[in-house]
């Protein structure tokens, strides 16, 4: 009797197991992932009850636990957790002594990758200031816009970023009552304060801890600029909660305190600052910080410092694969990489070449309210809509007409879901658990990122601006960006901003900017279709000078196409899709094409020879 009973039970369990395997092959992985995510949320909550409410709090805890553990290694020099703590105290003391800042003030930070970026960041955080990271490639008009948007009271600028700044700009900031602090011992400008010379003159004691105390984790911790979807860069609001959650990403992938992280991406991006530096603090790990990514030094550095994990963007992996093969390519201790934008082909090549490295591809945006992580062994997927993901966030892929650049609606005006296997616009429901914090000083633009009344009256979704495809098994794949941005060299380019700047030229009547893909490059490179004013010739030299003065290099349109008329869509938007598809091939396009040629300091006619050289890679873009 007992025997029959037991065998029935065992049989039942076996049937259950087998049917799970067949019908829900990812059941366990989905469940584990969901539980892990839930656990991380619980960790943040529990810590909050112990007074850890911000990254700075977390950092202070690490300093207490392991003061002598190396935190940053930069150009061979080691900075322990305590070293960083002390130097950031000094930065805070300088501002405190100067009486320049109060708790809650916003301070813009324009620095490249170096330890002082982190010292200033934490120094300001210890004073309770909101730090706003600026992209140092951006200058003139855009930069002013950034500083105004986040209502910065002060700008801290590294000496090596000063070169790209015009004198007018300094005066302009002064007029706007923005104080400027230079990370240097002396200043070439009057009225520009210096920091480095003052650091030795103040104690390295902590500033009063009530300054940095956080009352609500949903308050703003920092601003990180993003091109979002339209117009000038926007300051995405990063709350303390968001910053702490982002810092957990590496731990989620299985990184531990023994790990040594190699960080080559720019710190002003959320990925390097929060996933990277925040992630190290979370783990209590060590970060080898690099001024700039170098494909030829990458593996040597990894060997030299015993690097075990790194952060990537798709381009980085591609550049590494493009390096000539070496015998020692697989000799290293790297075991894990986290990042986004790696293409399946490159991913395979990367593993073949550099050995078994676990690659965790994630999907998420600076301002977005969700985060997807590839947690199953599926090449190319950015994430998964597992059985349990509904407990984490509620997202949908909406049917989208790429030609008209708009959502497809049913007869009642509700959105439609994209069928399996077809690209749809990813939207994520805005809830208490997955809030959208918006952009600083711009209610209107924040509202534009939201879709209301999608399926029922009153529902709200965050519009990611990305098209994704879901397959039969619920895996999500990135397909394309829609609308007004494209990515090039890891940066978002906002087509409207570029159009506005090109439109300032007096010989141009109309501009339409878009991104075109080039073989063997990630993302899309900028191209501008322009209509000239009647009887005005195209002036390549002047356009070149203008573009170089006003736009960071990744946003400068590499190709120009002269059109007689600009086609528009039924809703009066510029037609982009057919232009994007036609690309820049002079064999296909009969209209005049130009090419931004640095040696000539001009836009020169795009000949077939140039086209061939670009496509073959002889001319590097």
Ligand X SMILES: *[C@@H]1O[C@H](CO)[C@@H](O)[C@H](O)[C@H]1NC(C)=O
Judged by CB under 6 A, which stretch of 118-126, 202-210, 223-231, 375-383 contacts ligand X? 375-383
Cβ count within 10 A of residue 405: 17
> Least distance in Å: CB of 176 to ligand X?
5
Three-class DSSP category at 406: strand
Q: Does 495 bind ligand X (CB under 6 A)?
A: no
Query: What is the C-alpha R_g of the chain?
Result: 26
Judged by CB under 6 A, which stretch of 102-110, 373-381, 480-488, 537-545 contacts ligand X? 373-381
Q: Does 374 bind ligand X (CB under 6 A)?
A: yes
Judged by CB under 6 A, which stretch of 105-113, 376-384, 427-435, 564-572 contacts ligand X? 376-384
Q: Does 377 bind ligand X (CB under 6 A)?
A: yes
Q: Which is nearer to ligand X, 78 or 504 (CB)?
A: 78
Q: Does 501 bind ligand X (CB under 6 A)?
A: no
Residues in contact with 621: Cβ distance below 8 Å, sequence separation at least 6, in sequence order: 518, 521, 525, 558, 614
Q: Which is nearer to ligand X, 118 or 373 (CB)?
A: 373
Q: Which is nearer to ligand X, 148 or 553 (CB)?
A: 148
Judged by CB under 6 A, which stretch of 40-48, 262-270, 358-366, 499-507 contacts ligand X? 358-366
Q: Does 305 bind ligand X (CB under 6 A)?
A: yes
> Least distance in Å: CB of 343 to ligand X?
9
Q: Which is nearer to ligand X, 375 or 488 (CB)?
A: 375
Among 140, 148, 230, 306, binds ligand X (CB under 6 A): 306
Q: Which is nearer to ligand X, 343 or 448 (CB)?
A: 343
Q: Which is nearer to ligand X, 270 or 476 (CB)?
A: 476
Q: Which is nearer to ligand X, 288 or 530 (CB)?
A: 288
Q: Which is nearer to ligand X, 325 or 377 (CB)?
A: 377
Q: Which of residues 551-570 bind ligand X (CB under 6 A)?
A: none
Q: Strand 130-133 and strand 154-158: pairing?
A: unpaired
> Least distance in Å: CB of 298 to ligand X?
16
> Least distance in Å: CB of 498 to ligand X?
29
DSSP string for residues in 438-492: -BTT-HHHHHHTEEESSSSTT-EEEEEEEEEEE-TTSEEEEEEE-TTEEEETTEE
Helix %, strand %, coil % for the chain, to 5? Answer: 35, 25, 40
Three-class DSSP category at 554: helix
CA distance 164 to 148: 19
Strand ranges across the sheet with 179-183: 192-194, 179-183, 154-158, 106-110, 130-133, 220-226, 234-239
> Least distance in Å: CB of 254 to ligand X?
8
> Least distance in Å: CB of 410 to ligand X?
35
Which candidate, 100, 283, 272, 259, places its Cα nearest to that of 195?
100
Q: Strand 424-429 and strand 450-452: pairing?
A: unpaired
Q: Does 177 bind ligand X (CB under 6 A)?
A: yes
Local structure of residue 574 (DSSP, 8 states)? B
Q: Strand 593-597 and strand 602-605: pairing?
A: antiparallel
CA distance 55 to 36: 21
Local structure of residue 553 (DSSP, 8 states)? G
Q: Does 358 bind ligand X (CB under 6 A)?
A: yes
Q: Which of residues 241-260 bind ligand X (CB under 6 A)?
A: none
Q: Does 379 bind ligand X (CB under 6 A)?
A: yes
> Least distance in Å: CB of 421 to ligand X?
19
Among 361, 484, 491, 497, binds ligand X (CB under 6 A): 361
Binding residue count for ligand X, defined by CB under 6 A: 14
- Taking residues 337 to 356 in sequence order and writing x for each that binds ligand X by CB under 6 A, - otherwise, the string is ----------x---------
Three-class DSSP category at 363: strand
Q: Which is nearer to ligand X, 235 or 381 (CB)?
A: 381
Q: Where are the beta strands (DSSP E) in 254-363?
A: 260-263, 286-289, 309-313, 336-340, 358-363
Residues in contact with 18: Cβ distance below 8 Å, sequence separation at least 6, in sequence order: none
> Least distance in Å: CB of 378 to ligand X?
6
Judged by CB under 6 A, which stretch of 119-127, 357-365, 567-575, 600-608 contacts ligand X? 357-365
> Least distance in Å: CB of 492 to ligand X?
21
The helix (run of H) or strand (run of E) holding residue 148 is helix 140-149
> Least distance in Å: CB of 375 to ligand X?
6
- Biggest CA-to-CA distance, the chain: 100
Q: Does 478 bind ligand X (CB under 6 A)?
A: no
Helix 540-550 vs helix 140-149: crossing angle, to nearest 10: 30
> Least distance in Å: CB of 359 to ligand X?
4
Which residue's CB comes closest to ligand X? 361
> Least distance in Å: CB of 342 to ligand X?
6
Helix 540-550 vs helix 495-502: crossing angle, to nearest 10: 130
Give the interface with ligand X as residue ranges (CB under 6 A): 176-177, 305-306, 347, 358-361, 374, 377-380
């Amino acid at each position: 009797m007992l025997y029959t009973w037991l065998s029935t039970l065992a049989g039942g369990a076996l049937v259950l197991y087998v049917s799970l395997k067949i019908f829900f092959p990812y059941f366990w992985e989905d469940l584990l992932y969901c539980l892990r995510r839930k656990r991380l949320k619980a960790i943040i909550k529990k810590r909050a009850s112990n007074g850890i409410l911000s990254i700075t709090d977390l950092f202070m805890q690490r300093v207490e636990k392991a003061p002598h553990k190396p935190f940053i290694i930069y150009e061979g020099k080691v900075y322990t957790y305590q070293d960083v703590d002390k130097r950031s105290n000094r930065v805070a003391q300088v501002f405190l002594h100067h009486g320049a800042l109060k708790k809650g003030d916003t301070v813009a930070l324009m620095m490249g990758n170096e330890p002082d970026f982190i010292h200033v960041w934490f120094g300001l955080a210890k004073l309770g200031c909101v730090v706003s990271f600026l992209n140092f490639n951006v200058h003139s008009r855009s930069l002013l816009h950034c500083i105004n948007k986040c209502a910065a009271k002060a700008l801290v600028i590294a000496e090596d970023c000063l070169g790209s700044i015009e004198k007018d700009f300094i005066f302009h900031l002064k007029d706007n009552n923005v104080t400027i602090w230079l990370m240097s011992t002396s200043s070439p400008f009057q009225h520009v304060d210096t920091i480095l010379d003052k650091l030795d003159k103040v104690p390295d004691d902590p500033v009063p801890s009530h300054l940095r105390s956080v009352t609500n984790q949903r308050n703003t911790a920092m601003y990180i600029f993003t091109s979002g979807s339209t117009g000038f860069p926007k300051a995405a609001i990063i709350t303390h909660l968001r910053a702490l959650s982002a810092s957990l990403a590496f731990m989620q992938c299985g990184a531990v305190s023994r790990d040594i992280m190699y960080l080559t991406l720019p710190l002003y991006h959320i990925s390097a600052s929060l996933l990277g530096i925040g992630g190290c603090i979370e783990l209590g790990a060590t970060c080898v910080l690099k001024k700039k990514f170098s494909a030829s030094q990458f593996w040597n550095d990894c060997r030299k410092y015993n690097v075990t994990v790194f952060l990537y963007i798709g381009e980085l992996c591609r550049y590494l694969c493009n390096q000539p093969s070496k015998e020692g390519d697989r000799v290293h201790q790297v075991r894990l990489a986290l990042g986004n934008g790696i293409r399946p082909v490159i991913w395979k090549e990367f593993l073949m070449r550099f050995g078994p490295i676990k690659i965790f591809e994630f999907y998420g945006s600076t301002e977005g309210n969700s985060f997807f992580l590839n947690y199953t062994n599926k090449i190319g997927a950015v994430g998964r809509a597992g059985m349990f993901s509904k407990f984490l966030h509620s997202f949908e892929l909406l049917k989208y007409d790429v030609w008209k650049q708009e959502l497809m609606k049913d007869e009642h005006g509700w959105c439609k879901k994209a069928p399996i296997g077809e690209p749809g616009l990813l939207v994520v429901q805005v809830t208490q658990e997955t809030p959208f914090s918006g952009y600083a000083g711009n209610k209107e633009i924040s509202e534009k990122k939201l879709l209301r009344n999608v399926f029922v009256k009153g529902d709200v979704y965050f519009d990611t601006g990305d098209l994704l495809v879901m397959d039969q098994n619920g895996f999500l794949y990135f397909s394309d960006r829609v609308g007004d941005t494209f990515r090039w060299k890891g940066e978002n380019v906002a087509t409207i901003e570029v159009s506005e700047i090109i439109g300032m030229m007096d010989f141009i009547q109309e501009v339409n900017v878009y991104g075109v893909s080039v073989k063997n490059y990630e993302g899309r490179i900028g191209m501008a279709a322009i209509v000239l004013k009647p009887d005005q010739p195209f002036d390549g030299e002047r356009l070149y000078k203008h573009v170089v003065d006003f736009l960071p290099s990744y946003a400068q349109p590499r190709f120009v196409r002269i059109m007689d008329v600009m086609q528009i869509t039924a809703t009066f938007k510029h037609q982009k899709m057919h232009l994007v598809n036609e690309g820049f091939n002079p064999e296909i396009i009969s209209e005049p094409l130009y090419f931004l040629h640095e040696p000539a300091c001009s836009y020169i006619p795009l000949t077939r020879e140039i086209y061939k050289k670009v496509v073959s890679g002889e001319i590097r873009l």
